[in-house]
């Protein structure tokens, strides 16, 4: 099967969606399928071989974060050329409601289309703006995937229709086999706790963890908190808030995939203090796969990923005192933490790419079998992008 995958977010600053797209492409290739990915990226940005760069992206505020998106006539022309050259059996669009490449590809698409929705928000201005532009084109989508029940609910409530829930995938065995690093391993007297995420995005919750550090240190004076992620402003704010306790916290900066796996396999606990905007929680799955004990805020998405607390301990969202209490209890009651780790080792298998790929392929086959070509309006005209955008794109592609 020839599969074209469109990622709306730039590989210049990759995040969860980009990694999901990359790993899905690799998993499909391992099954013998021909795959091409189109994604925003500067020409000099290193990208996997499967990715075709679609040009420079613009940073915009989106979903409580900063997303790098590509839109406009030049991008439309590149999408058209890529689609025409690919002759795909299935076009898989991620976040087609986001004003970037996936939206453009949806306007252009003429064959079976599958779309994956990652976002889970109660209210979304981006959706409110995009929906009128896409309402008719959404009929092209033969099958919809949501990465979580939260993402499915947002789709049902704000767009209409439904979706099958297929979670983000993780190469579980890769994380399970990662060798611990002595520099990140703890001891009973000096346990280690890890945090990964953008330091300057408030919804990632670093400030909640920082506020919990004094109480954690009071019970475990030798504790080391290892913070991995980019964002100088967030690091400086955290250091100022920590004051004399800054010596208990080590900022690692951005780390590679290999170092991330080693970090998660080394620490006593992984803490996820996110306060909102999370539709899944891929890092929780990675931490469980690596064997770390997990402590997470009780967001709906996190509760489901952690089997309602059986595979990881939960604390009240945004409550540093409760976070400290749960961390202290998890470090003190090692039998309970070991039991949650054992449950996690079983539970996490449902998120392995071997399982997730089977589910995605089943959706592809359903879309192909449905044989839905480009919808035709009652007046007989094909759906097209807005005239100004499409016309400029057409001129450039000639």
Which range of residues forms the domain containing residue 185? Answer: 172-350
Residue 46 pLDDT exceeds 90: no
Q: How far apart are CA 373 and CA 380, in angstroms?
A: 14
Terminal alpha carbon distance of the chain: 29
pLDDT at 372: 46
pLDDT at 155: 83
pLDDT at 387: 43
Q: Residues 177, 146: one domain?
A: no
Q: Residues 198, 77: one domain?
A: no
Q: Residues 101, 227: one domain?
A: no
What is the CATH classification number for the domain harbouring 61? 3.40.50.2000
CB 266 within 8 A of CB 184: yes
Q: Considering the chain, what percentage of its residues have pLDDT values greater than 90?
A: 67
Q: Residues 158, 225: one domain?
A: no
Q: Which tokens is 315 given?
A: 């604390």
Q: Residues 259, 358: one domain?
A: no
Q: How far apart are CA 279 and CA 154, in angstroms?
A: 10
pLDDT at 161: 82
Higher local confidence (pLDDT), 3 or 12: 3
pLDDT at 140: 87
Q: How far apart are CA 280 and CA 296, in angstroms?
A: 12
Mean per-residue pLDDT, 202-212: 96
Higher local confidence (pLDDT), 66 or 119: 119
pLDDT at 67: 65
Query: Which pLDDT band, with edges at 50, 70 and 90, does 68 fall under?
Result: low
Q: Considering the chain, what percentage of its residues have pLDDT values greater than 70?
A: 86
Q: Residues 156, 303: one domain?
A: no
Residue 127 pLDDT exceeds 80: no
Reduced to 3 states (helix: H, G, I; strand: E, B; else coil), residue 188 is coil
Mean per-residue pLDDT, 104-126: 81
Query: What pLDDT digit, counting tens, does each position of 162-203 carry?
Result: 899 999 999 999 999 999 999 999 999 999 999 999 898 899
Residue 91 pLDDT exceeds 90: yes
Q: Residues 273, 391: one domain?
A: no
R_g of the chain, CA atoms, integer Å: 22
Which residue's structure tokens are 């704010």?
A: 237
pLDDT at 133: 63
pLDDT at 139: 82
Q: Which tokens is 187 given?
A: 């001891």
- Window from 63-77, 90-104, 294-308, 343-357 with minimum mean pLDDT: 63-77
- Overall domain count for the chain: 2
Walk across the sheet containing 224-228 and list its strands: 249-253, 224-228, 192-196, 269-272, 293-297, 313-315
Q: Residues 256, 214: one domain?
A: yes
Mark out the alpha helices in the chain (DSSP H runs): 16-30, 73-86, 101-108, 125-134, 149-158, 172-176, 206-219, 232-242, 257-266, 282-290, 300-305, 320-332, 334-347, 353-370, 387-397
Q: What's the mean per-residue pLDDT of the chain?
A: 88
Task: Kindly list the distances between the CA atom of residue 235 and the CA atoms of 146, 276, 296, in Å, as whole numbers in the listed order.
Answer: 33, 20, 21
Residue 376 pLDDT exceeds 80: no
Higher local confidence (pLDDT), 286 or 10: 286
Higher local confidence (pLDDT), 85 or 156: 85
Residue 113 pLDDT exceeds 80: yes
Q: Residues 291, 312: one domain?
A: yes
CA atoms within 13 A on the CB side of 380: 0
Q: Residues 222, 312: one domain?
A: yes
pLDDT at 129: 57
Q: Residues 177, 194: one domain?
A: yes
Query: What pLDDT digit, counting tens, does each position of 16-39 carry?
Result: 899 999 999 999 999 999 999 999
Reduced to 3 states (helix: H, G, I; strand: E, B; else coil), residue 316 is coil
pTM for the full model?
0.84
Residue 109 pLDDT exceeds 70: yes
Mean per-residue pLDDT, 201-221: 96
Query: What pLDDT digit, counting tens, does each position of 4-16 carry?
Result: 999 998 888 778 8
Q: Residues 204, 344: one domain?
A: yes
């Amino acid at each position: 099967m020839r599969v074209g995958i469109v990622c709306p977010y730039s590989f210049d600053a990759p995040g969860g969606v980009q990694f999901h797209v990359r790993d899905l492409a690799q998993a499909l290739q391992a099954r013998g399928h021909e795959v091409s990915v189109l994604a925003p990226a500067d020409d000099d940005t290193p990208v996997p071989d499967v990715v075709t760069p679609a040009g420079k992206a613009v940073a915009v505020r989106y979903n409580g974060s900063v997303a790098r998106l590509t839109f406009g006539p030049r991008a439309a022309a590149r999408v058209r050329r890529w689609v025409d050259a690919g002759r795909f059996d299935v076009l898989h669009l991620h976040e087609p409601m986001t004003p970037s490449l996936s939206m453009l590809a949806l306007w252009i698409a003429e064959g079976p289309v599958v779309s994956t929705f990652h976002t889970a928000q109660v209210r979304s201005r981006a959706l409110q703006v995009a929906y009128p532009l896409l309402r008719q084109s959404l009929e092209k989508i033969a099958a919809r995937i949501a990465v979580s029940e939260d993402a499915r609910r947002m789709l049902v409530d704000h767009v209409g229709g439904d979706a099958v829930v297929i979670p983000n995938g993780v190469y579980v065995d890769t994380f399970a086999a990662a060798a611990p690093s002595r520099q990140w391993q703890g001891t009973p007297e000096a346990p280690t706790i890890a945090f990964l995420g953008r330091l300057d995005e408030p919804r990632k919750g670093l400030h909640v963890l920082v506020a919990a550090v004094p109480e954690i240190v009071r019970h475990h004076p030798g504790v080391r908190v290892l913070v991995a992620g980019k964002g100088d402003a967030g690091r400086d704010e955290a250091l100022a808030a920590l004051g004399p306790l800054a010596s208990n916290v080590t900022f690692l900066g951005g780390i590679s995939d290999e170092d991330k796996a080693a970090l998660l396999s080394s620490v006593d606990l992984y803490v996820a203090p996110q306060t909102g905007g999370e539709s899944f929680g891929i890092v929780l799955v990675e931490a469980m796969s690596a064997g770390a004990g997990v402590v997470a805020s009780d967001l709906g998405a996190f509760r489901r990923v952690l089997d309602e607390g059986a595979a990881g301990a939960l604390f009240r969202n945004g409550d540093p005192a409760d976070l400290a209490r749960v961390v202290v209890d998890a470090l003190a009651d090692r039998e309970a933490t070991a039991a949650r780790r054992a449950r996690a080792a079983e539970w996490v298998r449902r998120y392995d790419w071997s399982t997730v790929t089977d589910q995605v392929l089943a959706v592809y086959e359903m879309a192909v079998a449905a044989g839905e070509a480009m919808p035709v309006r009652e007046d007989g005209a094909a759906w097209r992008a807005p005239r100004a955008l499409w016309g400029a794109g057409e001129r450039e592609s000639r």
